[in-house]
A and B are shown apart, each in its own frame.
Chain A
Amino acid sequence: MAQIKQIPEEILKSIYRTMVTIRKFEDTVYYMFLEGKLPGTVHLYQGQEAIAAGVCASLRKEDVIFSTHRADGHAIAKGVSLDSCMAELFGKATGCCKGKGGAMHLGDIDVGMPPAIAIVGGGLPLAAGCGLAFRYMKRDNVSVAFFGDGAANEGAFHESLNMAAVWNLSVIYVCENNLYGASTHISKVMKVKNVADRAVAYGITGVIVDGNDVFEVYRAAGEAVKRARSGKGPTLLECKTYRRGGHSRGDSNLYRDKKEEAEWLARDPLVIAREKMTKEGILSEMEIKDIEEQVKVEIEKSIKFAEESPFPDEKEMFKDLWADQKG
């Protein structure tokens, strides 16, 4: 059990606020998607907020994270502005990728997040390369790869972890094990019980935490970051969690066991964080309401910003492919 009193109050409040922001952002995005306001598809992050918030709170701006198709939470936690996230989801010119990335490629390298990588496992070798660059440039920054349990069965997972291990790179592999790769339960595709059990095969540290307890995540991520910055190499940090919604649009989770679902949904990471903080007297009812109200205003503002922003000019389609492109 993490002693939350050891964590400075402003960090605790900031972490909680990040979680609330992600939850409300995702709830709003889903609603707008159902209304037909957003194009494409959505992969929402409700239920996993503690992981993005807990891990990113341990990072510096210059540390770099690699995300997945389920990118909103990571982007918000790393500090990509709500306005530019929302505008990107709308495909607007003011989006964080100028409307060329979209929901599955959110990111802004200015705050340490390249476009999210929507090929399962595809970001893991890039994260190792980022760690390699930090070592090469003698920077004490860390590279973080977020990925789901499904990615742990990709070859890229093996190649990336093995390389980071033999080169002792400052890479933190954060597996968000929400028990399902799309609709397939992990027990059908993995013989070992925990993804982190695989760490031993690479000779690196493997850690398992309750991914719905943000303070546990924050503590474990902090230790992994400390290990990395002090030259002790990569960590495979497995966060056990659960999706509150479906895999993507139009998924009612009919394949999930109802008992399993009820047990996990009763462990809402926001409720857990809130209860712990109020119990310790860190957050008052008033402050909770204030945070929710402020976040609501920020999200409304981001929607207004996105809606009022222009779509990219047609000529913009041909720009940004080549680095030395004229005009």
Chain B
Amino acid sequence: MERLTVAQALREAIREEMRRDERVFCIGEDIGVTKGFGGAFTVTLGLSDEFGHERILDTPISETGLVGAAIGAAMMGLRPIADVQYSDFLFCAMDQVINQAPKMRYMSGGKIAVPLVLRAPVGATQRGAQHAQSVESYFFHCPGWKIACPSNAYDAKGLLKTAVRDNNPVLFFEHKKLYGAKGIRKVSGSIDASSDIPDQEYLIPFGEAKILKEGKDITILATLRMVYESLWAAEELEAEKGISAEVLDPRTLVPFDYETLYGSVKKTGRLVIVHEDTFTGGWGAEIAARVGSDIFDYLDAPVNRVCAPDIPAPFSTPLEESFVPDRGRIKEAVKKLF
């Protein structure tokens, strides 16, 4: 048993999978440079020492090129883990991400698999509008991608190992404030998302939500950093209002564990969905709509959503703090339903 940060846990997952399977390799910008920084958030730090630069492959600043190359290599039977430094950069590669990877299998009549993992950091961290987005919903909309979004080191490791072994393209969203980087690369406002990691190998199947706190009055569904804001809100709601909130982390958006969510909502009768992605057309809207049509009779109140407002992420610290949903807004949204 060892206490690891999210960045360390991801690194160990990659290391184990690369040792296990020679077809697994990493491709991205600044991921393997000797004496470099091991990717924008240190996840691949030191891996080129063990695996060499062919398997921890640095690319030009060419997102279309590197994502396309990863897809092409996956089509030929390799299992690339591609890395874009910020999820905002996925948009540079949108043709490859939307038109190629998730459609290749279908277009080929099922003959070609694309076993690709595409890692992308999300979250506002005082970097302005183009390095701050939570972009999950754009891809949630696109058939063909599986989507993982771990909120802690234990889940990060187990889900990444599952992602590498999946024969479908997997988008792996990581939150910048959860990595646990220290020293000069520490992200201000970071949350301790480290976990005790078992010595023995483990994998976490996709599509299995985790109930992080049991409750009976309301369900709060949240991912990534919003899991922590939700847990804090739940704690305070209990103390201040006697409201018992259940906090649920789906861990993967595709496949989505509707069964566990519905079970929770049937019990509590109320649902608040929290994501850092913007409000309109966010993945929370889809979940809310499904809950409304599938288990309407169990609801005692409308489904509420707490999301970033429909604006670009502002830079100035107080503005960014207002932009990102926090425990205060979650508590308000919960209280409105009673």
Given the contacts A136-B78, A162-B62, A321 and B106 also touching, CB distance less than 8 Å: yes
Cβ contacts under 8 Å, B95 to chain A: 119, 122, 156
- The answer to whether B73 has its CB under 8 Å from any CB of chain A is yes
Cβ contacts under 8 Å, A142 to chain B: none
B143:A159 contact, CB within 8 angstroms: no
Cβ contacts under 8 Å, B110 to chain A: 98, 319-320
A320:B65 contact, CB within 8 angstroms: no
A159:B64 contact, CB within 8 angstroms: yes
Cβ contacts under 8 Å, B318 to chain A: none
Cβ contacts under 8 Å, A295 to chain B: none
Given the contacts A122-B100, A125-B67, A128-B65, A96 and B109 also touching, CB distance less than 8 Å: yes
Given the contacts A321-B143, A323-B167, A163 and B111 also touching, CB distance less than 8 Å: no
Residue of B25, B106, B166 touching A320 (CB-CB under 8 A): B106
Residue of B68, B75, B168 touching A156 (CB-CB under 8 A): B68
What class of interface size applies to chain A in its complex with B? 35 or more
- Min C-beta distance of A8 to chain B, whole Å: 30
B68:A109 contact, CB within 8 angstroms: no
Cα distance A131–B167 when bound, in Å? 21
Cα distance A131–B76 when bound, in Å? 9
- Min C-beta distance of A233 to chain B, whole Å: 15
- Min C-beta distance of B57 to chain A, whole Å: 8
Per-position 1/0 for A109-152, Cβ under 8 A of B: 11000110101001011111111111011000001000000000
Cβ contacts under 8 Å, B100 to chain A: 117, 119, 122, 126
Given the contacts A132-B69, A163-B62, A114 and B109 also touching, CB distance less than 8 Å: no
Per-position 1/0 for B85-123, Cβ under 8 A of A: 000000000011001100011111111110100000000
B108:A115 contact, CB within 8 angstroms: yes
- The answer to whether B9 has its CB under 8 Å from any CB of chain A is no
B59:A136 contact, CB within 8 angstroms: no
A159:B60 contact, CB within 8 angstroms: yes
Residue of B nearest to A102 (CB): B107
**Listed A/B pairs (25) with beta-carbon separation below 8 Å:** A96-B109, A99-B109, A114-B108, A119-B95, A119-B99, A122-B96, A125-B71, A125-B96, A126-B68, A128-B65, A128-B72, A129-B70, A129-B73, A132-B69, A133-B72, A133-B77, A137-B78, A156-B95, A163-B62, A163-B69, A166-B60, A320-B108, A320-B109, A321-B105, A323-B168
Residues in B lying within 8 Å of A, measured CB to CB: 25, 54, 57, 59-60, 62, 64-78, 95-96, 99-100, 104-113, 115, 143-144, 166-168
Closest 9 interchain pairs by CB? Answer: A129-B72, A125-B68, A159-B65, A98-B109, A320-B110, A323-B167, A129-B69, A133-B76, A126-B72
